[in-house]
Copies of this chain bind each other. A is one copy, B any other.
Amino acid sequence: MSDATTTVRPPMPAPGSAGHLLQLLRDSDACTRPQLVELSGISRSAVSQRIEALLAAGLVVQDGAGASTGGRPAVRLRFHHENGLVLVADLGATHAQLAVTDLAGTVLAEQAENWAVADGPEPVLDAVRACFDALLTRIGRSRDEVRGIGIGLPGPVEHGSGRAVSPPIMPGWDGFPVPRHFADFDVPVLVDNDVNIMALGEYWTAWRAQVDDLLFIKVGTGIGCGVIASGRVHRGAQGAAGDIGHVRVPDADHALCRCGNTGCVEAVAGGQAIADRLRALGRDAHDARDVVALVKAGDREATRAVREAGRELGRVLAAAVNFFNPAVIVIGGDLANAHEQLLAGVREVVYRRSLPLATRHLRVVPAQEGERAGITGASAMVLAEVLAPSAVDRLVNGVT
């Protein structure tokens, strides 16, 4: 090569556009301009110019004086997360969580509803829209401030188009274009399945600063998995990634699954399957919540059943650990409220059956976000899109 100055060396810092500076500010409490120069590796004048653009766009705000370094005190800058809203709805089979968050994902108002998703898309989404307006009114804010909408659905979703795809428990929703129903808001509308947004919610709240690869397992009526790869939801070629509920486990050919096959892990270790077995033993158990109540009341059969379910789940997860090598497995869903027994079973098998290198630092932990994981994750999904460096650069270039 004729010009020695063109040699390239890694690792390269981020290019330091306005969007990247905003990213740095979002990840810290507040920063001075000199700190941003140091963090970004770009020049003082470039930082100043880009911060001016971010201030003009209302994405950054000056927040009093920073620590003095001998001369005049440096002005502290922070992400102006109050300057915009996100509307989110986490729709389950028979209940829904709705919320308004700010641009940091903080919940400003929320509402729980007992809607049946089986009523079909039009009535359910009309109710969502009315609830969004009511929530905005409750906190005295307006539709003009909304930057994006995030919706979670209890079934497979084609994320790119926001359509449900052959959802088994959602009659009438197949192919329905959810974003179009909110077109009058004139903001991005992002849709994903409930397990993916719960995974993102747990990741965003508790883990993103520490790890890149995480599995979130939802054990409720059925069993599903949300896959976070390199900090982002991995959806796969048809958006079907994480569908571990129908992986076969050995010696379970007797168990008929709602999917039509036999021997699926969900058919032996899902909340419904356990409730059915306990009912056959004379217990008053109809769903995962009843199972948890029996465990908490000290019922031995229920305790044994949940522990064994953990082991079955562990067999499937051991293979997933060898294949994917996550840093953390988070166990959530209704059955996870009996998490001591469930996690003990999972850990027992995963640590025995996975490879030493893959389990050396692996943590298997209960979910922390509870009911809020869905709305937190839906908000994070929207923010990742509307505050992506490329989106911010485009916005800022349009404004200045």
Residues of A near any B CB (own CB < 8 A):
1-10, 12-15, 17, 19, 57-59, 83-84, 144-145, 147-148, 156, 165-166, 186-188, 211-213, 225, 227, 229-230, 232, 234-244, 246-248, 250-251, 259, 261, 315-316, 318-320, 322-327, 353, 355, 357-358, 360-362, 385-395, 398-399
Contact for A238 among B84, B238, B251, B358, CB less than 8 A: B358
Q: Is the CB of B238 within 8 A of A325?
A: yes
Q: How far is the CA of A145 from the CA of B57 in the complex (A)?
A: 44
Q: Is the CB of A362 within 8 A of B237?
A: yes
| Known contacts A9-B187, A227-B324, then 6 further A-B pairs from the complex at CB < 8 Å, ordered by chain A residue | A7-B186, A8-B187, A166-B357, A230-B230, A240-B325, A250-B251
Tell me, rounded to whole Å, the shortest Cβ–Cβ distance linking A110 to chain B: 21
Tell me, rounded to whole Å, the shortest Cβ–Cβ distance linking A1 to chain B: 5
Total copies of the chain: 2
CB nearest to A396 among chain B residues: B6
Q: How far is the CA of A353 from the CA of B246 in the complex (A)?
A: 9
Q: How far is the CA of A324 from the CA of B156 in the complex (A)?
A: 14
Q: Is the CB of B242 within 8 A of A7?
A: no
Q: How far is the CA of A1 from the CA of B235 in the complex (A)?
A: 33
Known pairs A1-B84, A19-B15, A144-B1; A325 contacts B357 (CB<8 A): no
Contact for A156 among B84, B186, B251, B357, CB less than 8 A: B357
Q: How far is the CA of A325 from the CA of B7 in the complex (A)?
A: 39
